[in-house]
Amino acid sequence: MGRPHGQTGHRGVVPRSGDRVVRARVSASPGSAGGRTRTARGFEDSSVTKTPAIIDIAADEWVAACTASAARGCDVVDWLTAVDTAESLFVVVHLVDPDSSRSEMLRCELNSERPEIESITSWFPGADWHERETHEMFGIEFLGRSQTNALLMRAGDGSSPMRRTAALDARVRTPWPGQESTTGRRRQKLPPGVRAEWTRDE
């Protein structure tokens, strides 16, 4: 999955101290004629910076916001992925203007129990691979897609390995030495990333 340099996996776009987060509402539909009508309040600052603000978009305005970015010149999908913070699940896309250093980063919070959002592949064909991988890794349904076959995982596997609720099977099965103790006794220590309930017998 494409992602910016220096950022990895599902922790890549969690806001850090100093990050600018802009909440915007899109005032025009994706089909509006003319670039000037496809505008979103709150985007102006991010369109002129090399490190774009994270712009929060409502799920029902996702396509409109992405096409509004394209109308402003950011019409190439650099990467699209998801972020699972345990408390929230987001889908994030980074759109760039190939003729300049401008870019815009859009983020949408989803229902973590039933995550779904409209696909943008009809407007951005380059998002196809990213949406398919994000679907498999995070279980997000991209509505309106014409192609839904498996990309990296076995068909019908049903797991979403990048979700924080997914058990790390290899670590659960691997013997772990435990924790050092000054009393001469050792108590079991779980491998990093493994929850206690994953190791309990049914």
**pLDDT tens over the chain, length 202 residues:** 444 433 334 434 444 444 445 555 554 333 333 332 233 333 344 444 456 888 999 999 999 999 999 999 999 999 999 999 988 999 999 999 999 889 999 999 999 889 999 999 999 999 999 999 999 999 999 999 877 777 777 766 667 888 888 877 766 676 666 555 566 565 556 666 666 666 665 5
**pTM over 0.75, yes/no:** no
C-alpha angle 129-132-136 in degrees, rounded to nearest 5? 140
| pLDDT tens-digit series, residues 45-99 | 444 445 688 899 999 999 999 999 999 999 999 999 999 998 899 999 999 999 9
pLDDT for residue 172: 67
In the chain the first and final C-alpha atoms are separated, in Å, by 35
Q: Give Cα separations from 33 to 118, 137, 151 (angstroms).
A: 21, 36, 35
| DSSP percent split of the chain into helix, strand, coil, nearest 5 | 20, 20, 55
Bridge partners of 94? 79, 105
SS3 99: coil
**Residue 26 has what DSSP assignment?**
B
CB atoms within 10 A of CB 49: 13
Q: To which CATH superfamily is domain 18-143 assigned?
A: NADH:ubiquinone oxidoreductase Nqo5 subunit (3.30.460.80)
pLDDT for residue 130: 95
Please state the domain extents for the chain: 18-143, 167-202
